[in-house]
């Protein structure tokens, strides 16, 4: 049986157009995660969603938007995720952040 380890998944929901110091916010977050030696990060671009103000963000041809929903997911040990959240929290002026428990089965690489 493969041992499991408890960790956390940090999920950050922002709009694609959000920036920090002239850089897309999602790009800045991923670069910060690399600097902090987190396990990895994935950026997902949504096809449709709506924001805090209920503004529709969509990829439909008639309502084509360059400002689509973005989700950044980072999974690591609890203490590393909590420390990273404290680092990025002041930078996220609008969006949603969740932190959930996960069971990590393996993290493999060469």
76 inside domain: yes
pLDDT band with cut points at 50, 70 and 90 for residue 62: low
110 inside domain: no
Per-residue pLDDT averaged across 45-73, rounded? 73
24 inside domain: yes
Distances (CA, A) of 99 to 13, 17, 32: 12, 23, 17
31 inside domain: yes
Reduce the DSSP state of residue 28 to 3 states and report it: helix
Reduce the DSSP state of residue 61 to 3 states and report it: helix
Total domains in the chain come to 1
pLDDT digits 0-9 by tens, 34-51: 999 999 999 998 877 776
109 inside domain: no
CATH code, domain carrying 98: 3.30.70.120
For residues 34-56, one letter each, b for 16 or more C-beta atoms within 10 angstroms of the residue's C-beta and e for the rest, the string is eeeebeebeeeeeeeeebeeeee
Domain range for 90: 5-104
Q: What is the pTM of this model?
A: 0.83
Instruction: Count the Cβ atoms, other than its own, within 10 Å of residue 73.
Output: 14
């Amino acid at each position: 049986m493969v041992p499991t380890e408890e960790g956390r998944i940090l999920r950050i929901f922002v709009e694609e157009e959000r920036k920090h110091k002239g850089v897309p916010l999602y790009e800045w977050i991923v670069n910060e995660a690399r600097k902090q030696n987190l396990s990895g990060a994935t950026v997902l671009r949504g096809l449709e969603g709506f924001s805090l103000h209920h503004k529709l963000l969509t990829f439909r041809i008639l309502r084509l938007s360059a400002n689509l929903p973005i989700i950044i997911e980072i999974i690591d040990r609890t203490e590393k995720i909590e420390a990273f959240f404290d680092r990025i929290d002041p930078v996220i002026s609008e969006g949603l952040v969740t932190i959930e428990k996960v069971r990590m089965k393996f993290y493999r690489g060469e």
